[in-house]
């Protein structure tokens, strides 16, 4: 059986050489940095959306609770008006009559009914304040996450331009913008 010889041409040597040696380590490093920044940016964007959704949830809860508190105050006011009418009835009726006694009993009944209603309305108003405060904190966090996402997106764009131009000062600028973006994201994370 005749043996066959394999002849390598210049192209084969170049492909084999490129496979063993990274000819463009600058480009490879920038590509990896861009991928890492894209991952961090995606996480910041997720957190931004999550913070915004929670802020809206608590703001909605505050609005619902505000309506409940208003209903309780209206109920309290209705009991107060009934109490006032009973007091007027007691004042206009004869002092020793059955009607006078009934009006005084109604006055006491409405006074007793008003206190739990007032307490419940005040409790609900505290919930409104609490939900509004949570919403404000989360909305502030959302702004921080959005700023971090924007800065990281700018850093990714600068990395892409750096790959095209091969300018080291542009690479350094992209690192600075990325660092500021990551720091802003850290502020958002630790202030939550």
CA trace torsion 55, 57, 60, 66 (10° rounding)? -80
State how far the Cα of 142 lies from the Cα of 149, in Å rounded to an integer. 10
Q: For residue 20, is it within any domain?
A: no
Confidence of residue 93 (pLDDT cuts 50, 70, 90): confident
Q: For residue 98, is it within any domain?
A: yes
Q: Which of 6-10, 48-52, 127-131 has the lowest mean pLDDT?
A: 6-10
Q: Which domain does 144 fall in, by range? A: 32-191
Q: For residue 10, is it within any domain?
A: no
Write the DSSP string, 104-154. Answer: HHHHHHHHHHHHHHHHHHHHHHHHHHHHHHHHHHHHHHHHHHHHHHHHHHH
Q: For residue 13, is it within any domain?
A: no
Q: What is the pTM of this model?
A: 0.73
Q: With CA atoms as reference, report the closest residue to 70 among 111, 124, 126, 151.
A: 124
pLDDT in tens, 152-167: 999 999 999 999 999 9
**Total structural domains within the chain:** 1
Evaluate if residue 48 carries a pLDDT over 60: yes
């Amino acid at each position: 059986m005749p043996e066959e010889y394999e002849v390598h041409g210049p192209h084969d040597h170049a492909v084999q050489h490129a496979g063993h040696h990274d000819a463009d380590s600058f480009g490879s490093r920038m590509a990896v940095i861009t991928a890492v920044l894209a991952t961090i940016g995606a996480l910041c964007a997720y957190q931004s959306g999550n913070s915004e959704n929670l802020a809206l949830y608590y703001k909605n809860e505050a609005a619902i609770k505000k309506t409940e508190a208003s209903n309780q105050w209206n109920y309290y006011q209705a009991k107060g008006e009934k109490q006032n009418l009973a007091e007027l009835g007691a004042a206009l009726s004869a002092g020793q009559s059955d009607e006078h006694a009934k009006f005084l009993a109604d006055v006491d009944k409405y006074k007793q009914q008003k206190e739990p209603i007032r307490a419940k309305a005040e409790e609900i108003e505290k919930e409104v304040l609490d939900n509004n405060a949570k919403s404000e904190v989360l909305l502030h966090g959302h702004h921080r996450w959005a700023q971090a996402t924007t800065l990281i997106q700018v850093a990714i764009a600068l990395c892409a331009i750096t790959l095209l131009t091969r300018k080291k000062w542009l690479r350094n600028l992209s690192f600075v913008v990325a660092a500021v973006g990551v720091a802003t994201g850290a502020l958002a994370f630790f202030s939550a």
